[in-house]
Amino acid sequence: MERGVEPYEGDPALPGGFLNNVEEGILAAAHRELREEADLDASRLHLEQLGAYGEPGRDPRGRVVSVAYLAIAPGLPEPVAGTDAAGAFWTPVEEVLSGRLKLAFDHQQIVADGVERARAKLEHSALAAAFCAETFTIAELQKVYEAVWGVQLDPRNFYRKVQGVPGFIVPAGAERRTTKGRPARLFRAGPRTVLHPPLVRPDTPMTNEVDQ
Amino acid sequence: MERGVEPYEGDPALPGGFLNNVEEGILAAAHRELREEADLDASRLHLEQLGAYGEPGRDPRGRVVSVAYLAIAPGLPEPVAGTDAAGAFWTPVEEVLSGRLKLAFDHQQIVADGVERARAKLEHSALAAAFCAETFTIAELQKVYEAVWGVQLDPRNFYRKVQGVPGFIVPAGAERRTTKGRPARLFRAGPRTVLHPPLVRPDTPMTNEVDQ
DNA sequence: GCAAAAGTGTTATCGATACACCCATGA
DNA sequence: TCATGGGTGTATCGATAACACTTTTGC
């Protein structure tokens, strides 16, 4: 969102806000803020807790403890600015990770943590299928993995690997004919949500971490 | 701890409490509570955030948001009951996971989450070495893994696997002679804290999860 | 010598990768 | 027929796991 109030008025930031009445849980509050601030609804929306951020100095108003949530969903509409927001827009994560788009508070760090979580999530969960239409080809599923991981995958090996996970995707019977090339078989999401074996992503460029 | 005040007075629970003044961060608060309630100090104590628990109904006093931390450290002393605590004691996690020892609030769930996190942590971090003395044998290191994972490992394969991780452990020169058997070489923790490749634990009994 | 624990070698197997190859379609 | 993308076969490599075997000690 583009913030409409101080602090950081006018700066881009993640949508969020304070807990409401004493009956509201933190997950419900995340849903509410997403709806209020960006008009994004809960249907087909996976919300997963990232963690709490509560070091002093992260908010000029004082020590504020925020619980961050990662939302994963396909085909989201354009966000609409709601309460306290001057604007709302999507941006590629690369803009934030590279530092070209600077966010308010410590939201830069929260985004970095969220992206890493999403990338790891694809390895062990069937969430990627949720980013495709009701039925989809294996090549389409591959594009989801490539987009999130930011890598290129071998179509032949991906094809079998994905079929080697029982219950991940099941044949949908039909085929899809595109303008060129052989028609592809269609699949739909299977019953499994945890992947055995996992789809491991290729080695990241080996950050040579020696600390923490 | 054994709780000394309402709610759940007399019941066992994790140590914890409320944030202090407005300058205190959540990590600092976790350290403080551990010191105040259990007299456990910060030296050689790894604290890592588990997550926030904030659903309504988890505390009879109302909607309370707790940020849970997992502490990992070797050779901890007997805990001492401090403020608001009637007692303090260690217990095997199995007592909690099995339900034989019932904890206050939703601390049962928090312990389950923490144990799972600790188990996963050993795969990718060099933390296990921190549970051994300054110098240690590979067999001693193996016992740490076996204790945390609750499995038996092949000493021969473990021996090489662990040496195959560059920078995990480095030879300490000397040997240790026990009452019986060949003396074992001694090692000390190496510079690496993230393990490449990871020490993967054997397959868990394949929980056939189909949801979430 | 014998038991016990440390350490080494060897082999079968599995999964990942790379890539040659065939298949089915539209133009 | 050719280009294009879909799909199959297969060899190589590295990591794992199982386990036979050797080494070094105390008794």
B206 pLDDT more than 70:
no
**Residue A69 in this model has a pLDDT that exceeds 60:** yes
> What is the CA A179 to C1' C25 distance in angstroms?
9
Please name the nucleotide lying closest to B184, CA to C1'. Answer: C6
User: Residue B189: what pLDDT?
Assistant: 94
The arithmetic mean of pLDDT across residues A142-154, rounded, is 95
Nucleotides of C under 7 A from a protein CB: 3-9, 15-21, 23-27
Answer whether residue A198 is part of any domain: no
**pLDDT tens, position by position, B157-186:** 999 999 999 999 999 988 887 778 899 999
Contact between the CB of A98 and strand C at under 7 Å: no
Mean pLDDT of chain B: 90
Distance CA B188, CA B169 (A): 6
Q: Are residues A46 and A27 in the same domain?
A: yes
B196 or B97: whose pLDDT is higher?
B97
Instruction: Verify that B107 and B15 share a domain, yes or no.
Output: yes
Which of B25, B56, B192 has its CB closest to that of A55?
B25
Shared-domain flag, residues A50 and A133: no
Q: Indicate whether B9 and B109 sit together in one domain.
A: yes
Report the nucleotide nearest the CA of residue B187, measured to C1'. Answer: C6
Beta carbons of B22 and A63 less than 8 Å apart:
yes
Quote the number of domains for chain B: 2
Inside any domain, residue B88: yes
The reported pLDDT for the residue numbered A204 is 63
Burial B18-57 (b: 16+ CB within 10 A, else e): ebeeeebbbbbbbbebbeebbebeeeebbbbbbbbbbeee
Task: State which residues form the domain around B23.
Answer: 2-121
B196 lies in a domain?
Answer: no
Domain assignment present for A206: no
Do residue B48 and residue B92 come from a single domain? yes
Average pLDDT on A70-80 reads 87
B121, B144, B178 — which closes off a domain?
B121
DSSP track, A30-50: HHHHHHHHH---STT-EEEEE
Higher pLDDT, residue B7 or B83: B7
